[in-house]
Each structure stands twice: as C-alpha cells, then as structure tokens.
Amino acid sequence: MISLIISESALELVPFELENHPSVVSHAKKLGKYSSDILLDNSWHFAAMKGIKNEIKRGRPDLVHFSILEATTIPLYLQNKLNLFVHTIDDKVIHFGKNVHLPKSYHRFEGVIEKLYQEKKIMAKNELLLEIKEQTFSELIDEINPSKIFGFSTGGKLSSYEKIASQISDNSCIVIGGFQKGHFSESVENKITDLYSVGNESFEGHTVTSRILYEYEKTIFM
C-alpha cells in the first residue's frame, strides 16, 4: 500500500485575527454560522486575507476538494491500495478511513469539513470515516514511515509521470502540494527523498494527483 499526502493544503478555518473583518462577518451571517466556524476562502475573504502570512498558499479549499476527489474515485483507492492524508497549512492532518466518499458538490464538502473541525471525528455505522489531528508534516511522515518519499515541484529533477511511477514501490509516499501558488516549505521539502518536476509549467495539484496515480495503477493493474 502506498500513501498520498496532499501537503500544506489551503484548507483551514478562518483564523482568529480575521474573524471580525467585515467580509468574513458578512459571509458568516449569510451562512448562519460564526466566523470562527467557516472555512477560509479567498473567493469570499479576499479583502481580509490581504497581507496575511503565506497569503498565496491559503484560502483555496476548492483545490483541495479537487485533489481529494481525484484520489478517492479510482481503483487504487477503492481496492484499499492507497492511504490518503490531507496535511494543512496550519499543521493539522485529516486521516481518511477505508472507501470514504466525500461529496462531489463543493458546498456539501465544505459542510463536512467544517463539521469535522468541530467534532474532530466523523463516524458512520461505528466506522471511522474522517479524523483530524494536530500533527505536523514531519510527525505524519514518522507515523507512516515510508521507504521513499516522492514530491512534485517545479524545482525538482525533470522527469515524466511514467518514469516516476516505475520507481514507486509498496510503502512509498507521494507528496503533492495542496496550495495554488508557491513552493513547499523547507520543513516539508527536507523530508522528501526524491523531488521531481514534470514540466516547465506549474500544474495544479489535482492534475498531478490524477496523472501520477494513473501511471502507478498501470504498473500494478495492467
């Protein structure tokens, strides 16, 4: 079984320092929720986010949703050959149970994640579907204890999805950024044993997720 980490994901609740910003308060009122209980979203909170730390890597939960759907709707995951983790920009980790199907509708996904932040666990028929923990990327890697860690970045060694997939063995870990712009932080990049680039352009995380997992599937299913 291999692991996939969507790392430093732009998925977080509105931070304390932005809770009283007019754009956040207005959006929360429309949703009938407290500011502290909604996801930070650049589409709604652009004015509030101006100048915050790591601004370009935050407030895009929709991109994380895309990557999760790409990873959880394929044979590799459905046949329990893939462990999925979402590591967030504020050092929390969402652990996925077996055969978890998150809503394809973004608004329903948003509701599930906000509920997860409040309740810490989501269960169904006594089975754990989702759990969120306070956990750094380094701590997650120590828990998984992979044999190799493959990362994707424009700063990595130029290769192809096919060649990279041929090197992925059981107990390997794939790390893909869950943010819209920028690069892995030093603490994340230092843990990656094999850093690759798949072109001169910067591709969105869900595109990289779908292509590398498909190429890996070809090595074990075809």
User: Would you state the structure tokens that stand for residue 28, as one six-digit string?
Assistant: 């929360």
What residues contact 214, with CB distance under 8 A and at least 6 apart?
74, 161
**Phi and psi torsions of 194, nearest 5°:** -135, 105
The reported pLDDT for the residue numbered 199 is: 83
So what's the pLDDT on residue 125? 86
pLDDT value of residue 195: 97
CA 137, CA 91: separation in Å to the nearest integer?
Answer: 7
At residue 81, the pLDDT reads 96
Cβ distance 183 to 155 under 8 Å?
yes
Structural domains of the chain in order of their starting residue, each with its CATH number: 2-10+60-102+132-221 (3.40.1280.10)
Phi, psi dihedral angles at 200 (to 5 degrees): -75, -20
Query: For every one of its 222 residues, what pLDDT tens digit does the chain have, with 9 covering 90 and above?
Result: 999 999 999 999 999 999 999 999 999 999 999 999 999 999 999 999 999 999 999 999 999 999 999 999 999 999 999 999 999 999 999 999 998 999 999 999 999 999 999 999 999 888 999 999 999 999 999 999 999 999 999 989 999 999 999 999 999 999 999 999 989 999 999 999 999 999 878 889 999 999 999 999 999 987
Distance in angstroms (rounded) separating the CA atoms of residues 152 and 205: 9
**Residue 25 φ/ψ, nearest 5 degrees:** -60, -45
Alpha-helical (H) ranges within the chain are: 22-31, 42-49, 61-72, 75-78, 106-119, 137-144, 161-167, 186-189, 205-221
State pTM to two decimals: 0.95
Phi, psi of 98 (to 5 degrees): -80, 135
